[in-house]
Amino acid sequence: MKFFADTAEIADIKELAATGLLDGVTTNPSLIAKSGRDFMEVTREICAIVDGPVSAEVVALDHEGMMREAEVLRKLADNVCIKVPLTIDGLKTCKALTGDGTMVNVTLCFSANQALLAAKAGASFISPFIGRHDDNGFDGMDLIRDIRLIYDNYNFQTEILAASIRHGVHVLECARIGADVMTAPPAVIKGLFKHVLTDKGIEGFLADWAKTGQTI
């Protein structure tokens, strides 16, 4: 499973990229606003740090406006992935862009039927929102299972990009089901390293090593 970081914070992206585990980055208008940086500037900087796809979201709601904004965004770097909402105009834009060789991430997916439409429109990625789905009384993992089944039934090449991931259990379940990608805040990704027995093991090894009086 590919790991994307869901953030626009450059320091966090650099830290995760240094581990060799980071395959891409997803951003959205809220994350850009939180960073306090210029949209174009920060997107260009992120694209220079990671080799994989960097999702940059359009804010227009009509097809023509989305296409105009996409034309600006895809000039920033070769690894820009245009992010569009799962609407009729969003999927029209998706079809036009992917037909021209541009990566497209269709976002705000909350049903398997929506995911089916996005795949038929040629989406590079579909972003089902697990945490938000849970918040509204549904099972986000059931959504991932349904999409995986449908995509496998018809051999769709659209990658399932599990989004709105809140904790490590979400990551584990997505990996079990077979999501192609997961995108999560840096804190969630860093949390995957943590285990009380790992910490205790390191503590014990260091204590025993100190008793030897040796150095390396």
The full set of domains in the chain, from first to last, is 2-212 (3.20.20.70)
Q: Is 2 a catalytic residue?
A: no
Residue of 2, 14, 34, 83 marked active site: 83
pLDDT in tens, 47-91: 999 999 999 999 999 999 999 999 999 999 999 999 999 999 999
Rg over alpha carbons for the chain, rounded to the nearest Å, is 19
Quote the CA–CA distance of 104 and 91 in Å, as a whole number. Answer: 10
The predicted-structure confidence for 22-51, as pLDDT tens digits, reads as follows 999 999 999 999 999 999 999 999 999 999
> pLDDT tens digits for 153-200?
999 999 999 999 999 999 999 999 999 999 999 999 999 999 999 999
For the stretch 85-116, pLDDT in tens is: 999 999 999 999 999 999 999 999 999 999 99
Q: Which helix (H) or strand (E) holds 54?
A: strand 54-57
Residue type, 23: D
Give the Cα separation of 127 and 35 in Å (integer).
22
Query: What is the residue-wise DSSP string for 179-198?
Result: -SEEEE-HHHHHHTT--HHH
Res 134: pLDDT? 86
Q: For residue 133, is pLDDT > 90?
A: no
CA distance 123 to 199: 42
Q: Is the alpha carbon torsion for 22, 24, 28, 33 positive or negative?
A: positive
The answer to whether the pTM exceeds 0.85 is yes
